[in-house]
Amino acid sequence: MEKLLPRFLEYVTTDTQSDPYSKTTPSTEKQWDLAKKLVLELHQIGMQEVSIDENAYIMATLPSNLDKKVPTIGFVSHFDTSPDFSGRNVKPQIIENYDGKDIVLNKLKNIVLSPDYFEDLKAYEGQTLITTDGTTLLGADDKAGIAEIITAMEYLINHPEIKHGKIRIAFTPDEEIGRGAHKFDVEKFGAEWAYTVDGSQVGELEYENFNAAKAKITITGKSVHPGYAKNKMVNAIGIANDFLSHLPPSEVPEHTMGREGFFHVHNIKGEIEQAEIELIIRDHDAVHFEARKDLLNDIKEKLNKKYGEYINLTIEDQYKNMREKVEPMFHIVEIAEEAMKSLQIEPIIKPIRGGTDGSQLSFMGLPCPNIFAGGHNFHGKYEYVPLESMEKAVKVIVKICELTAIQIR
């Protein structure tokens, strides 16, 4: 475990922010910087069949140390960080023996990580926290997962008395922009199932996620001098505002939880002659998910009748709820649950309010539940991860490998 913290700190200080507008894979050239470091490190710790392809997908093998055949399993994490918040010049702060009080992330800008607002902090009094300096995200999503997987593999290499089957690991680019599994070679990976290590608090174990789509509304207007605009100007900004007013105000991320779906408007730009709205659609229930897409089309049709044919809508599905692919192999969830319980970790089985590479991989033939990596408040300056949570994740990965080797098939 002594290598876990320095390993994680090195990863987060390497900028790997992805770009949803790029057409390349990886979407940013800087993702290669960490990818190449990871390949070198995997060689150094003794992993075999280490490879990186032309799209920066990394795979490696820990061979079985058994004389019998057991399932080949895998662990997957992503090395890109969110495009929505800066991952450049990350300066992690280490708070040892956290006292349960406010943490001043940035005194100059008066940015404070407070347990009064982020109540989860109260559970980590006395532990070691890694935080941001208040100007960037941290990158625990999902560099914590990578650090944990590599640390677990190194531990197994150094402790051959722990019996396990063949273990495959993979690190992917561009998960944060929904493309992490797009060029993943499931056949080459060769595992019967895998686990993404991409969850949040200790104990999280997830095998269902949102159905997801993204939508873009483009509105074309007509600019006319405002003094002579009656019955002539078509203000795209005004139509955009009208469109948004038809969305249910309570069905947004900040007012929903659990299995409740939402519309999330994340980008608006506009002038009189053109306005654009970008949003995402999320719902665990497939029927409700389709109804949300239908609502957007209904709004478009209604407003085009009101204003004229000025609104264009495109909707693109991103991923589906992996539950239907994991449930037929529910023993893979039960193994992870047993691993946690054997380590006195209470499993928290709940739906993911988001998606992981695992959701797409499950539909590509690699059933892939998600387990915790330990971080909190992803994608922003209040992100933090307790070191002890990362250590527990390492132990869970090791225990899953051990338990899989003794399961009766």
Buried b (16+ CB within 10 A) or exposed e, 66-92: eeeebbbbbbbbbbbbbbebbbeebeb
Burial category of 106 from C-beta neighbours within 10 Å (exposed 0-12, middle 13-18, buried 19 and up): middle
The first and second tokens of residue 13, run together, are 């200080």
Cα separation, 141 vs 376, in Å, equals: 9
pLDDT in tens, 247-298: 999 999 999 999 999 999 999 999 999 999 999 999 999 999 999 999 999 9
pLDDT at 356: 76
In this predicted structure, the answer to whether residue 408 has a pLDDT above a threshold of 70 is no
Residue type, 163: K
The CA–CA distances, whole Å, from 40 to 144, 348, 356 equal: 18, 35, 25
What does the mean pLDDT of the chain come to? 95
In this predicted structure, the answer to whether residue 100 has a pLDDT above a threshold of 90 is yes
What integer is the mean pLDDT of 82-101?
A: 95
Cα separation, 45 vs 386, in Å, equals: 25
pLDDT at 318: 86
pLDDT at 228: 94
What integer is the mean pLDDT of 183-187?
A: 97
What integer is the mean pLDDT of 286-313?
A: 97
pLDDT at 1: 81
pLDDT at 46: 97
The percent of residues in the chain predicted with pLDDT above 70, rounded, is 100
For residues 275 and 243, the answer to whether their CB atoms sit within 8 Å is no
Which has the closest alpha carbon to 32: 64, 60, 66, 55? Answer: 55
80 belongs to the catalytic site: yes
In this predicted structure, the answer to whether residue 406 has a pLDDT above a threshold of 90 is no
Residue with tokens 């659609």: 281
pLDDT at 151: 98
Which has the closest alpha carbon to 50: 148, 150, 144? Answer: 150
pLDDT in tens, 115-165: 999 999 999 999 999 999 999 999 999 999 999 999 999 999 999 999 999
116 belongs to the catalytic site: no
Please identify which of the residues 15, 19, 41, 80 carries the catalytic annotation: 80
State the pLDDT confidence band at 409, using cuts at 50, 70 and 90: very low
pLDDT at 290: 97
Buried b (16+ CB within 10 A) or exposed e, 379-401: bebbbbbbbbbbbbbbbbbbbbb
Please identify which of the residues 175, 208, 357, 383 carries the catalytic annotation: 175
State the pLDDT confidence band at 54, using cuts at 50, 70 and 90: very high
What integer is the mean pLDDT of 393-399?
A: 98
pLDDT in tens, 344-373: 999 999 888 877 788 899 999 999 999 999
Lowest average pLDDT, out of 216-220, 321-325, 341-345, goes to 321-325
